[in-house]
Amino acid sequence: MGEVIVITSGKGGVGKTTTTANLGTGMALQGKKVVLIDTDIGLRNLDVVMGLENRIVYDIVDVIEGTCRLKQALIKDKRYDGLYLLPAAQTRDKNSITPQQMVTLCEELKKEYDYIVVDCPAGIEQGFKNAIAGADRALVITTPEVSAVRDADRIIGLLEANEVRNPQLIVNRVRQDMVKRGDMMSIEDIIDILAIGLIGVVPDDENIIISTNRGEPAVNDNKSLAGQAYRNITRRIFGEDVPLMVLSTPDGLFSKMKKLLGFKPA
Amino acid sequence: MIDLIKSLLRKKETSKDVAKERLKLVLIHDRSNVSPQFLEMVKSEIIKVIQNYMEIDEESLDIQLTKTNSDDGERVVPALVANIPIRGMKNAGR
């Protein structure tokens, strides 16, 4: 019996889709059978982040309306064994699906897959309600900004109210150099305010943009810091005890010297 | 002179401190943002209990959720403020 994990944030643009793509791919790399579901109907993007946009035939609304079978709509990612994508519909709206239909869909997928990772749309309306309907577990994404943390707080309240218990936090786009000089809230500051468990910290990393440009998740890139962070989070989801990454400040004297000497950044 | 030393010793407030403080305040408001129906329910329950002991002016009863300083004066905390005009005591309450 699989587990349904919803990736949510409230605020848009904090990295829900990127996180969904990377965690799902990370799980598949660890040998799990994984389905990624894009529930952002009308504004689908998980397909392009995954580099699978040219392979879409059917979408989630087709499955729910019975236009096709579930198997037909699932796109198999040929690069990663055991990884599938169920894309959102682009020309419909969020009301094309009900939370009950989403529960049924998740139950069906849980029979065959180890993990179902649901990419939730921004906002707290119908799309959010659909995305969390079948969830066994929720990961809340935030960045160290006032607006993102505020929205995360609201989402945590709504998850509790909808009986999705014990959501865990991912703090994305942390810049350790800014934290160090007091111009960015630290992980401790954010945990102090939101009072929920932390499952991972993802450093701000330009490799994410590069890998999104190419449609290849950074989790498979051994040189990417963010990729390393996502690999760690994947293992924590499996229940392993992985210590938090030590984030160094870029371009200190030491790392500059290492760069000069030709060492790869840690 | 002492003021000068003090000002030199005092750490400059960083932008993250400002962010944290603003967040805390805005979250107090967000978290206590309850629906009018909820307040109506609380109100009618309070009236029921108090009416066992006192005669009150139901029309001008006012109840609202607001903010106040905590006992140590360091934080702002949500508070339920009720203004209940009493017309007289009932015999049962004596």
Alpha helices in A67-199 (DSSP H): 70-73, 99-110, 126-133, 146-161, 176-180, 187-194
Q: Which pair of tokens denotes residue A18? A: 């990127």
The reported pTM is 0.79
Whether residue B4 is contained in a domain is answered as no
For residue A92, the model assigns a pLDDT of: 92
Strand bridging mode B76-83 / B86-89: unpaired
Domain extent at residue B75? 15-89
* B9 assigned to some structural domain: no
Mean pLDDT over all residues of chain A? 93
Query: Of A50, A49, A39, A32, which Cα lies nearest the Cα of A113?
Result: A32
CB A194, CB A171: distance < 8 Å: no
Average pLDDT over residues A132-140: 97
Whether B94 is in a domain gets the answer: no
pLDDT in tens, B50-82: 888 888 888 888 877 776 777 776 666 667 888
Q: Which of B14, B22, B23 to mutate to test the interface with A (most CBs of A within 10 A)?
A: B23
The interface predicted TM-score (ipTM) is 0.80
A252 interfacial to chain B (CB closer than 8 Å): no
- Please give the residue of chain A at the shortest CA–CA distance from B23: A146
Q: Judge whether A154 is closer than 8 Å to chain B, CB to CB.
A: yes
> Is residue B10 in a domain?
no
Number of independent structural domains in chain B? 1
Whether residue B24 lies inside any domain: the answer is yes
Average pLDDT of span A96-105: 97
**Shortest CA distance to A9 belongs to which of A139, A135, A197?**
A139
Range of weakest confidence among A90-99, A203-212, A228-237, B19-28: B19-28
